[in-house]
């Protein structure tokens, strides 16, 4: 699947990437919205990228928003995470060196994929087990959920859904396979990396939906990247007639997240910050959603 086809073009919920901190924050936002009577999990489509793939799969499960929130803040309920060993300060610079001189986005994706295929990481099976621990249910939900990944060799995006025949754990693991940190995921003989290699949020995939809510764990004013920006994607959606609202981390959430989005220790404070923010933005989201 390389594009989304939907018969119901009503409401789409897009959840972007941002590591374990992004999972915690986005889960908190959904819980805070629900606290105020705005449960956006009833979207006609959920598009999840990287962290958003885990949140999307959880949101489509049978658990309540309170139960999902407790999975972030209660140590006894938290998923098993593998500490990511990397230099936060030097990682962006190393990535820029790899991408320098690339002619287009397709070449950017292929370069990152080649780097990911060579990078030393934990074993693929070990990483898969950690991802599986995040998911309340083992199967695909009935309601539409699309998870974004990228073929490490060709650089082509792949959209996984319930009709793809791919195990949802593998689809989430592929979408969350941060290049250079986590191993590319093997699916049907191909290796896949993080959907954020295409775009941090992939909001443009919600084209054609009347109302689109983007929950983006990327802080406003984040350093410019060679990828399409969320602002560009939203402008494209609005130009096509969609009503769009963006929720991104506020000052309190950014402080709770800290400098390393892959640090499991920030889950609880970040989830609480997200929940508070969700409550504050509920009126705006309600106006869009209803």
The pLDDT tens digits along the chain (290 residues) read 555 665 457 999 999 999 999 999 999 999 999 999 999 999 999 999 999 999 999 999 989 999 999 999 998 888 788 878 776 666 767 777 777 777 888 899 999 999 999 999 999 999 999 999 999 988 999 999 999 999 999 999 999 999 999 999 999 999 999 999 999 999 999 999 999 999 999 999 999 999 999 999 998 766 556 678 999 999 999 999 999 999 999 999 999 999 999 999 999 999 999 999 999 999 999 999 99
pLDDT for residue 153: 97
pLDDT for residue 7: 47
pLDDT for residue 69: 98
pLDDT for residue 90: 67
pLDDT for residue 280: 98
pLDDT for residue 130: 93
- Chain centroid offset of residue 68 CA: 16
* Cβ burial, residue 193 (10 Å; 0-12/13-18/19+): buried
pLDDT for residue 231: 94
pLDDT for residue 150: 97
pLDDT for residue 87: 65
pLDDT for residue 267: 96
Other residues' Cβ atoms within 10 Å of the Cβ of residue 172: 28
The dihedral built from the CA positions of residue 161, 164, 169 and 173, taken in this order, carries a sign that is: negative
Contact criterion met (CB below 8 Å) for 279 and 35: yes
Distance between CA 16 and CA 144 in Å, rounded? 17
Which positions are annotated as active-site residues?
Answer: 50, 194
- Sorted by sequence, the CB contacts under 8 Å of residue 281 that are 6+ apart come out as 29, 32, 33, 247
Distance between CA 265 and CA 84 in Å, rounded? 12
């Amino acid at each position: 699947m390389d594009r989304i086809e939907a018969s119901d073009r009503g409401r789409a919920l897009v959840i972007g990437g941002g590591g374990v901190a992004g999972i915690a924050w986005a889960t908190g936002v959904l819980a805070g919205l629900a606290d105020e009577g705005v449960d956006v999990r009833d979207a006609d489509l959920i598009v999840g990228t990287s962290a958003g793939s885990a949140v999307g799969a959880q949101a489509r499960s049978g658990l309540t928003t309170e139960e999902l929130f407790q999975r972030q803040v209660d140590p006894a309920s938290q998923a098993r995470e593998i500490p990511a060993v990397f230099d936060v300060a030097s990682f962006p610079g190393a990535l820029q060196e790899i991408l320098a001189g690339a002619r287009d986005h397709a070449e950017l994706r292929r370069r990152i994929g080649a780097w990911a295929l060579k990078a030393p990481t934990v074993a693929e099976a070990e990483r898969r087990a950690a991802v599986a621990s995040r998911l309340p249910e083992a199967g695909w939900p009935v309601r539409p959920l699309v998870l974004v990944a990228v073929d490490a060799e060709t650089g082509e995006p792949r959209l996984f859904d319930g009709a793809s025949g791919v195990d949802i754990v593998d689809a989430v693991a592929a979408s969350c396979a941060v290049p250079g940190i986590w191993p590319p995921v093997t699916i049907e003989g191909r290796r896949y990396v993080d959907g954020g290699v295409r775009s941090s949020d992939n909001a443009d995939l919600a084209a054609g939906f009347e109302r689109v809510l983007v929950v983006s764990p990327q802080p406003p004013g984040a350093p410019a990247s060679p990828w399409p920006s969320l602002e560009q994607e939203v402008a494209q959606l609005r130009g096509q007639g969609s009503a769009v609202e963006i929720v991104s981390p506020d000052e309190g959430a950014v402080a709770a997240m800290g400098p390393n989005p892959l640090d499991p220790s920030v889950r609880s404070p970040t989830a609480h910050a997200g929940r508070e923010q969700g409550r504050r933005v509920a009126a705006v989201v309600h106006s869009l959603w209803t």
